[in-house]
Structure 1
Amino acid sequence: MHAWPASEVPALPGKGRDLRIHDTATDGLITLDPGPVARIYVCGITPYDATHMGHAATYNAFDLVQRVWLDTKRQVHYVQNVTDIDDPLLERAERDAIDWVALAEKETALFREDMTALRMLPPRHYIGAVEAIPGIVPLVERLRDSGAAYELEGDIYFSVESDPDFGKVSRLDAATMRLLSAERGGDPDRPGKKNPLDPMLWMAAREGEPSWDGGSLGRGRPGWHIECVAIALDHLGMGFDVQGGGSDLAFPHHEMGASHAQALTGEFPMAKAYVHAGMVALHGEKMSKSKGNLVFVSALRRDGVDPAAIRLALLAHHYRSDWEWTDQVLQDAVARLDRWRAAVSRPDGPPAEALVEEMREALANDLDAPTALAAVDRWAALQQERGGTDEGAPGVVSRAVDALLGVAL
């Protein structure tokens, strides 16, 4: 599966700072010190609907992570999956009387278009779940053969008790885990499971549903969590720098994935930092496909909204915060974009070197984009009030906003 084209990231003078970021597993800020190549895995979409602002906010957060690392003169090895086989996709395809493969391809293509328009840096490896099945089957077989998984009526389940470090990602109690498991794709009430929290690794073929050859597992399809584990281990290995996604993935998805990987390798942890973006609401409720309260990136683009304004609307909120999308949020972003473009369109302006360092410091401090935006606002206001004599300043600001924030002025 191919990703989307990369926009050029301008090189800035000097060097950025190492990233301090909030780690869910320790509930605190940690300073990441990757080697020459920083490694990041971000969970991708289940392609049964278009990219909404909640998706965009999440991918914007991890785009900033990449930009901070690139500014430290590191390379970035970014991997993202596409869950192109799962119950919600099959249910939507049946509802709309469309082939599930065609639906997945259509929505994945639209996602690529949205990411390109928003100037999100693409992953080096963009892997679909179906594409990953040949690598998933051996992992499930290994877990089963080692006693870390078991069969139940043809399905294969992972035993969470096989990982002594289970629970260290989300830090939740068992009762909360059970509630969230039921809400987020698990089946804690299924009779016969060793532990209600045990997640499915391999679903035996169901009549009328797609299935694949699973070797000794029989025909079926993979569970949600093992998909990401197989892709991450194949392309990044254990101990990669950041596992990312929305806050609703901390449990069960990232918790289970970590346990799968740790049981497979005997190593801990799967990722050095588990980083989670907040939720975006609309009319007082979390924006979600199941509720249908969505604002789509593609719809805004069709209405003529500049993608740079959409991106500024996202950047105006700290990535870990939960916030609400409103018309005013977008109007404020459009006005900010107009001010910034007017400021950099002049032939000279106030010196910009200090501004670049302010932006770097803000973003290195747990991706504090609102503070970086405020610094650019101050420079633009100074330019508006009295201008300046530095002929290179507007160009420096334009390149810094592009390189660090992904906004083309």
Structure 2
Amino acid sequence: MLKVFNTLTRQKEVFKSINPNVVNMYVCGPTVYNYIHIGNARSAIAFDTIRRYFEYKGYKVNYVSNFTDVDDKLIKAAKELNITVPEVADRFIEAFKEDTSAINIEPATVNPRATENIPEIIDFIKVLIEKGFAYESVGDVYYRARHFEHYGELSDQNIDELEVGASEHTDPAELEKKEDPIDFALWKAAKPEEISWESPWGAGRPGWHIECSVMSTKYLGDTIDIHGGGQDLEFPHHENEIAQTEAKTGQKFANYWLHNGFVTVGDANEKMSKSLGNFVTVHDIIKTVAPEVLRFFMATTQYRRPIQYTEANLADAANNLKRLETAYNNLNYRLKDAEAGNDPKVDQEVRQIQANFVDAMDDDFNAQNGIAQVYELAKLGNIYAENQRVDQGTIKMILEQLQAMVNVFGIVLKSEELKDDHIEALIQERLDARKNKDFARSDEIREQLKAQGIILEDTPQGTRWRREE
């Protein structure tokens, strides 16, 4: 029975989708003014892993993730690059797609852009004004946060304390436009020469929060199963989404709110962010680190836990992934001489490991416990592959389960294609030398191959070789 931790109720709850065997999920996407850093990638990987586990369990997942393609950051980037805001957005949306494809993130069912939904945003705001939840002020439109009785519940904050904080951190000119310091912008009046759209309140552009409410309800309906994003979005972004959406529809916005933990760096475990200048982009890191290693590193930590980004932790991930690849290749190698049939005892062990994997992942997508079961399956496969006689059906069963489990974490195991005639000839020469007790020549060939990046493994079934990575 799958349980998820709901940020709104701050407890684990049994997951039940609105429609049987279908999950409607909205995950806040990037503001596309730069390359994504691995903190952004953590959220994309976390929710892609969650999506994949739902699919592993047989659900159809409607996955919507937006692009914020107009805001102050894009306007600033456009000026610095001397191009238009749409050109900035197009450039970094394409970069986002390339980087997320490299780390094997499944494309969203829909990737809507804010600028593609301006009419819907304007209509949404009109309804909020008509219902008394919003008001126009000098070309801006603000939401009356205090009018929404549940404001602050998601982030567990007191509305009076929020008022004090807003008063201290809001620009005095903006405060003069607001009825209340905690009110937030739905529509922003355009400054001279800024990108803008015509509206009933004058030329302007949407506020940040309104776009997700509009696109979620447009593509998934008034009430969705899951809304996700990083912990930093709990307040104000998701808090504001709930307020404006439920005020407009009169319905519960999302049944479950899921938030992933941060990526931290350094001994102080400081949160990685562009504003702190301590970030590493995916675009840069995958030039030196295999994309599948970065993916494995992030996907195998439970999504709510922080991830400490260090070279040592990346190296551990690379070693663990190599263990799985070696087991996969050992099993594929034994298929060559496997006999027809199945080993009932080993088959039962495989089924038990698979059941343990489901139990682990059903506990709020506990990736650490889940991957531990994958390691158990790999260990079982390695031991079985050492047997003098192996059964083809059992080998295939282990391989299929191993691949299915690691696919939840976005990893594809591939069988090595080792067909180099020259290497095979040298290996045969080495075997002949060993039979003739010419150990000097045997060692010489091993060293010769090692110098070429070829690693030999002597097994009871013969000598295998692989290329060193």
The corresponding residue for 1:274 is 257
> How far, CA to CA, are the matches of 2:404 and 2:212 in structure 1?
34
The corresponding residue for 2:39 is 54
> How far, CA to CA, are the matches of 1:111 and 1:180 in structure 2?
34
Residue 218 of structure 1: how far off its partner (Å): 1.9
Distance 1:202-1:30 versus aligned 2 partners, 3 A rule:
same
1:249 aligns to 2:247 (yes or no) = no
Q: Return the index of the structure with the highest Cα Rg.
A: 2
Which amino acid in 1 is paired with 2:33?
A: Y
Structure 1 runs not aligned, ≥5 long? 1-17
Percent sequence identity is: 31
Picking from 395, 398, 403, the partner of 1:399 is: 403
The corresponding residue for 1:315 is 299
Residue 183 of structure 1: how far off its partner (Å): 11
Task: Select the structure that is richer in helix.
Answer: 2
> How far, CA to CA, are the matches of 2:274 and 2:84 in structure 1?
19
SS at match of 1:127: coil
Give the stretch that moved more between structures: 96-105 or 140-149. Answer: 96-105
Distance 1:185-1:296 versus aligned 2 partners, 3 A rule:
farther
Structure 2 length as normaliser, TM-score? 0.78
Residue 21 of structure 1: how far off its partner (Å): 0.9
> How far, CA to CA, are the matches of 1:360 and 1:332 in structure 2?
24
Which amino acid in 1 is paired with 2:257?
A: Y
1:1-400, aligned counterparts within 5 Å?
A: 18-34=1-17, 35=19, 36-174=21-159, 177=162, 190-214=175-199, 216-267=200-251, 269-283=252-266, 284-303=269-288, 305-347=289-331, 351=347, 352-384=350-382, 387=385, 389=390, 390-400=394-404
> How far, CA to CA, are the matches of 1:183 and 1:271 in structure 2?
31
Residue 372 of structure 1: how far off its partner (Å): 1.1
SS at match of 2:136: strand
The corresponding residue for 1:9 is none
> How far, CA to CA, are the matches of 1:24 and 1:124 in structure 2?
24
Give the stretch that moved more between structures: 28-37 or 196-205. Answer: 28-37
Which amino acid in 1 is paired with 2:265?
A: L
Whether the aligned pair in 2 keeps the contact of 1:181 and 1:187 (CA below 8 Å) is: no
Distance 1:300-1:242 versus aligned 2 partners, 3 A rule:
same
Which amino acid in 1 is paired with 2:306?
A: D
SS at match of 2:111: strand
Residue 172 of structure 1: how far off its partner (Å): 1.2
> What RMSD, in angstroms, separates the aligned Cα atoms of the two structures?
2.3
> How far, CA to CA, are the matches of 2:304 and 2:168 in structure 1?
22
> How far, CA to CA, are the matches of 1:226 and 1:128 in structure 2?
12
The corresponding residue for 2:448 is none
SS at match of 2:259: strand
Residue 402 of structure 1: how far off its partner (Å): 4.0
> How far, CA to CA, are the matches of 2:276 and 2:318 in structure 1?
28
Distance 1:38-1:186 versus aligned 2 partners, 3 A rule:
farther
Distance 1:365-1:132 versus aligned 2 partners, 3 A rule:
same
Distance 1:128-1:319 versus aligned 2 partners, 3 A rule:
same
The corresponding residue for 2:423 is none
Residues 200-254 of structure 1 show CA distances to partners (whole Å, capped at 9, x for unaligned) of 001112112100122x222110011110000011111122111100000011111
Residue 157 of structure 1: how far off its partner (Å): 0.2
> How far, CA to CA, are the matches of 2:247 and 2:88 in structure 1?
35
Which amino acid in 2 is paired with 1:296?
A: T
SS at match of 1:94: helix
Whether the aligned pair in 2 keeps the contact of 1:53 and 1:294 (CA below 8 Å) is: yes
Which amino acid in 2 is paired with 1:335?
A: N
SS at match of 1:391: helix
The corresponding residue for 1:8 is none
SS at match of 1:218: coil
SS at match of 2:30: coil
Whether the aligned pair in 2 keeps the contact of 1:39 and 1:78 (CA below 8 Å) is: yes
Q: Highest relative contact order (Cα 8 Å, sep 6+), 1 or 2? A: 1
Distance 1:220-1:45 versus aligned 2 partners, 3 A rule:
same
> How far, CA to CA, are the matches of 1:335 and 1:385 in structure 2?
19
The corresponding residue for 1:12 is none
Structure 1 length as normaliser, TM-score? 0.89
Q: How many residues of Structure 1 are paired with residues of Structure 2 in the alignment?
A: 389
